[in-house]
Amino acid sequence: MGLAKRIIPCLDVTAGRVVKGVNFVELKDAGDPVEIARRYDDQGADELTFLDITASSDDRGLILNIIEAVAAQVFIPLTVGGGVRAVDDVRRLLNAGADKVSINTSAVQNPQLVADASGRYGAQCIVVAVDAKRVPGDGPLRWEVFTHGGRKATGLDAVEWGKKMQAMGAGEILLTSMDRDGTRVGFDLELTHAFSSALDIPIIASGGVGNLDHLADGVTIGGADAVLAASIFHYGEFTVRQAKQHMAQRGIEVRL
Amino acid sequence: MTIDIAVIDYGMGNLRSVSKAIEYVAPGRKVVVTSNPDEVVAAGRVVFPGQGAMPDCMREMESRGLRPALLEAARSKPFLGICIGLQMLFEHSEEGDTRGLGLLPGVVRRFPQARMVGAQGEKLKVPHMGWNEVEQAIKHPLWAGIPDRSRFYFVHSYFAEPADGALVAGWSAYPFRFACAAARGNLFAVQFHPEKSHTAGLQLLANFVAWQPLPL
């Protein structure tokens, strides 16, 4: 027995509500963030991730109130991402009660931010989120990094980018397949495996979960250290506990 | 007003989770997050957390003049070290070749790359991040009500190697066994994060708040 693989429900938050979209668009309301966080905590979630996808800067502060409310009642690690542009944003989120902060677009625009934030607060609280999309063609498999919620191509090779972020102080990678996000056909396991074998820091697989076997596959085939999912939990299809029991039946060590 | 519990703040990382969890298990107690040595001296019990790199932690702790208050607290009142707060109690750390406070004999080492292979031959990641089992090595008031081999949340790349086996209060394994809790008299220290370890972690913090160690 040893370290358990983690199951991390993800809450996309906009203007104070949890929403779920398909391929990063078409958002549907999924409920109150504090209520949902408590429910997942009761079900045995190992961590929670909040992604603030608020478009309007007027509503940016709302995420801080949500994190404060959750952190006063839920005593598991909380990761918050979305709109993190400066070390000061990291500080504000940590002070509100986040344990880790996830950086995506700003890491591409300013990689030094990752080094600065990691140097200041420690690698353990800096997650770099990578949104990756397959590059079409017959050559060896490749993925490109996208930013701005998946709207903007960067030209960066995803695996090389992951290695660079590890070297600059990322403590963990939240790896989302844009091809799979919202499709419910399973993780891009080749992508997950490419990252897991090339990097030494933990990889969280994300994007595409439609059933409990997909979660297990992320670990057994993809080599992920943690699996993240949103919609299968939000609409009450499966509880986190059911997901863990299923993974345990597949021979994966989980915290039950 | 009397300070029941001082959470020592030396500018390294996020102490909010620690103070929130203690407030949650100790309603009505006065909990302060402080870098003021006088408040540490005045407090009834002391929590010594730590995040980030140990060389920075030692430097920031020293620059705030906290060493005498810390040494005094570690000798005289219920004292709980968490994460780097455990590592700093030992004599030396491989991280940046740093001298610790030397309150406990032993050293702090990095998880060695060459040994980070799991049971199925898979590569084990560093930091050791996530929920791992804790085997209680001794009976102790801080383990009260916590089932043996409960899982706690860890995130660290270095671990302590106490020179005296009698100091070990808990073991974990990644992939080899390492001491994840140390105890002596009024002092208890854990490598994991009780403030992030759900029911088991909250129970440990509640036990700490209620703990009456025998006078030394």
Judged by a CB distance cut-off of 8 A, whether residue A96 touches chain B is yes
Nearest chain B CA: its distance from A25 CA (Å): 31
The chain A residue lying nearest B178, using CA atoms, is A2
User: Is B92 part of the annotated catalytic residue set?
Assistant: no
Cβ distance B140 to B183 under 8 Å? Answer: yes
Instruction: Name the catalytic one among B95, B128, B180, B193.
Output: B193
Parallel, antiparallel, or unpaired for β B128-136 and B150-156?
antiparallel
CB contact under 8 A, A3 and B131: yes
**pTM of the full predicted structure?**
0.94
- The pLDDT tens digits for A153-208 are 999 999 999 999 999 999 999 999 999 998 999 999 999 999 999 999 999 999 99
- Burial of residue B164 (number of CB atoms within 10 Å: 0-12, 13-18, 19+): exposed
Q: Which residues of B touch A (CB under 8 A)?
A: 12-14, 16-17, 20-21, 24, 51-53, 118-119, 122-133, 149, 151, 153-156, 173-175, 195-198, 201-202
> Which residues in chain A have Cβ-Cβ distances shorter than 8 Å to B122?
223
pLDDT of residue B13: 64
CB contact under 8 A, B127 and A96: no
Tens place of pLDDT per residue across chain B (216 aa): 689 999 999 887 668 889 999 999 999 999 999 999 999 999 999 999 988 888 989 999 999 999 999 999 999 999 999 999 999 999 999 999 999 999 999 999 999 989 999 988 888 999 999 999 999 999 999 999 999 999 999 999 999 999 999 999 999 999 999 999 999 999 999 999 999 999 999 999 999 999 999 865
Interface pTM, i.e. ipTM: 0.92
What six digits make up the tokens of A218? 């992320």
The chain B residue lying nearest A223, using CA atoms, is B122
- Of A71, A75, A122, nearest to B13 by CB-CB distance is A122
pLDDT of residue A29: 78
CB contact under 8 A, B125 and A124: no
pLDDT band at A58 (very low <50, low <70, confident <90, very high): low
Indicate the residue type of A254: V
Cβ partners under 8 Å of residue A92, min gap 6: A64
